Amino acid sequence: MTRSTPTPHRQRPCLLQVLGITPYQVAWERQRSLVEQRIQDPSLDDILLLLEHPPVYTLGTGADVKFLKFDPVTAPWEVHRIERGGEVTYHCPGQLVGYPILNLRYYQPDLHWYLRQLEEVIIQVLKNYQLPGKRREGFTGVWVDGYKVAAIGIKVKRWITMHGFSLNVCPDLTGFQAIIPCGIPDKPVGSLAQFIPHLQLEEIRQKIAEEFAQVFQVKLIENN
């Protein structure tokens, strides 16, 4: 995929909100509220939320509990079944999560296009570090040297997006051992810190914002 250079008159404003470590339920409710506001008033600006979560497992709408290695009813961990697509995944500090709230009518009302654009944001970030981010046929996400470093799961309501992507920057990956991540047993999860020791999440957060603006041709406006 070739990244085009945005032209000023095409740039759509997009508010950037950096939330830090945020409980999953809080971020989930915030997304739903933002989506409903934009369904009621499609002229509202788009928003990109960048944050981290405390340890939490989430399952997509149709996710199979067989990919959990524990009983979700009696689990000692926080578990949520949510309205995104995809199977089970894990969030924790050191993993950068991005929730774009975009009205795809202003871009392309095409879910496959949107998923590929989210992957492209990650791939372009990795290029800054000479890391070869790859897609895999039949899957959604980004891999480096066979390790899945970024997961993507979305929900779109009346062409307004929610949920989004997670990029493993420097997390403790042991939480993934309690699940079969994304329902893929033979493709290990990894982090950027495996390839770039001492990498800081703040640095990657800045790169994500920059590349998101380029790939989606928006003008990010900090709104914290």
Q: What is the CATH number of the domain that holds 38?
A: 3.30.930.10
> 1 in a domain, yes or no?
no
Q: Is the pTM of this model over 0.85?
A: yes
b/e map of 69-88 (b: 16 or more CB within 10 Å)?
eeeeeeeeeebeebebbbbb
Cα 35 to Cα 125, 151, 216, distances in angstroms? 27, 21, 19
Burial class, 60, CB count within 10 angstroms (exposed 0-12 / middle 13-18 / buried 19+): buried
> 194 in a domain, yes or no?
yes
Residue tagged active-site, from 14, 92, 170, 182: 182
pLDDT tens track for 35-85 = 999 999 999 999 999 999 999 999 999 999 999 999 988 888 899 999 999
> 2 in a domain, yes or no?
no
pLDDT of residue 1 exceeding 70, the answer is: no
> 57 in a domain, yes or no?
yes
Q: Which domain holds residue 137?
A: 8-222
> 103 in a domain, yes or no?
yes
Confirm whether 14 is a catalytic residue: no
What is the rounded average pLDDT for all residues in the chain? 93
> 3 in a domain, yes or no?
no
Query: In sequence order, which residues have a C-beta less than 8 Å from that of residue 63 and are 6 or more positions away?
Result: 81, 86, 87, 88, 183
Q: Please give the tally of structural domains in the chain.
A: 1
